[in-house]
Amino acid sequence: MLVALGARKKPRLFRAEEAAEETLTQDLEGYRQAALELGATGAKIIPAHWVTVDERVRLKCYIPRCSYYGESPSCPPFSPDLELIQRAFARYRWGILFKIDVIPAEDFIARERRTERAKVLKLNSDIAGEIESMAFHDGYHLAIGMGQGGCKLAYCGGGRCEVLDGGSCKFPLRPRPSLEGMGIDVYSLVTKAGWDVHAIGRSTEPSSILCAISVGLVLIW
């Protein structure tokens, strides 16, 4: 079954009690497969306790100051309070972690390749949003998806955000907050999943990395 973005789906009858383990297991595998069909190059079902919220990650959004800081409503300082995030995440049991391999790595690293980077960030956010929507219609009404980077590059080409100017978002249901903006230690999470990750910075030599990755997460239940 090929999953299409924005595909219509008949919702299940909502039940207040938790889903049966067999149903949950089948659903999680279905979401994992859907992430791959939507364009992810890897996806895993992970226990939610793998997700670590660390105030130092949020601090790194400001030191050195990220170009998205204060420029996107889905990024700090507009992100939820870390204590709220920690309390909320502690109530989830499972998640779908996915990655998008970027080859060549220059498409994700080089500053002059903003168009290529924007495509990756948009795909990441779209996958997270679609899996979240699928889970919602299956009765996991508190599912929440997160992507990577600022939404203004992914959806608006890096221009000034109309929301921050008092206007309305052109894509109100599509952008998702970044994992790092939510204080999640992405490096530790990816390592726990058994995937390779490199510390990529401004001085990174792109040719020294065979593959960069963009990571997204959907917490289900």
pLDDT digits (tens, 9 = 90+) for 57-75: 999 999 999 888 999 888 9
pLDDT digits (tens, 9 = 90+) for 119-174: 999 999 999 999 999 999 999 999 999 999 889 899 988 888 899 889 999 998 89
Q: Is 20 among the domain residues? A: no
Q: Is 75 among the domain residues? A: yes
Q: Is 24 among the domain residues? A: no
pLDDT surpasses 60 at 189: yes
pLDDT surpasses 60 at 2: no
Closest-CA residue to 151 (of 65, 75, 63)? 75
Q: Is 21 among the domain residues? A: no
Q: Is 2 among the domain residues? A: no
Structural domain count of the chain: 1
pLDDT digits (tens, 9 = 90+) for 194-209: 999 888 777 777 778 8
Q: Is 105 among the domain residues? A: yes
Q: Which residues have C-beta within 8 Å of that of residue 19, sequence separation ≥ 6?
A: 27, 139, 140, 221
What b-and-e string marks burial along 30-46, b requiring 16 or more CB atoms within 10 Å of the CB? Answer: bbbebbeebbbebbbeb
Q: Is 55 among the domain residues? A: yes
Q: Is 133 among the domain residues? A: yes
What is the extent of the structural domain holding 81? 43-219
